[in-house]
């Protein structure tokens, strides 16, 4: 495997920083083989690849609303929408702000996996709260 990676680096002119990399092996590989692979790569082993742009890189369990709670927390904690006073912005201003902030956060998540409908409902609720319901037509969001 290391030979393939080295060949790729030679041909592309890119380099992989193995000191910043981690080795994650399938449960089908013995611990001994996994350690040998990690040693040959010069990278430590891991059981968790953590998050990238607020999205878990590996889904070990069923995907639920809690899996993507960071998307909602990002909107709530940093108060991206709450820091703007909705009554000081025009309808067009609120509409643009919501489209830019609220709709761009989950885009990466939606590219890689279908997010739960409960998360979509929570995002819609947050947007409707900020807009004062102004972005609803016949009870449906138009953002």
Count the Cβ atoms, other than its own, within 10 Å of residue 95.
17
Provide the whole-model pTM: 0.48
Q: pLDDT tens digits for 91-122?
A: 777 777 776 776 666 676 677 677 778 877 88
Q: pLDDT tens digits for 16-38?
A: 888 888 888 888 889 999 999 88
Tokens 């643009």 map to which residue? 96
């Amino acid at each position: 495997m290391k030979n393939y990676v080295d060949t790729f680096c030679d041909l592309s002119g890119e380099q992989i920083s193995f000191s910043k990399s981690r080795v994650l092996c399938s449960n089908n590989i013995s611990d001994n083989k996994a350690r040998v692979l990690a040693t040959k790569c010069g990278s430590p082993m891991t059981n968790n690849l953590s998050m990238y742009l607020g999205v878990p890189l590996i889904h070990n369990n069923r995907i639920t609303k809690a899996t993507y709670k960071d998307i909602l927390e990002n909107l709530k904690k940093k108060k991206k929408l709450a820091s703007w006073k909705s009554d000081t912005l025009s309808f067009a201003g609120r509409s643009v702000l919501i489209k830019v902030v609220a709709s761009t956060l989950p885009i990466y998540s939606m590219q890689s996996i279908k997010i739960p409908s409960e998360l979509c409902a929570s995002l819609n609720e947050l947007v409707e709260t900020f807009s004062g319901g102004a972005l609803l037509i016949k009870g449906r969001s138009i953002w």
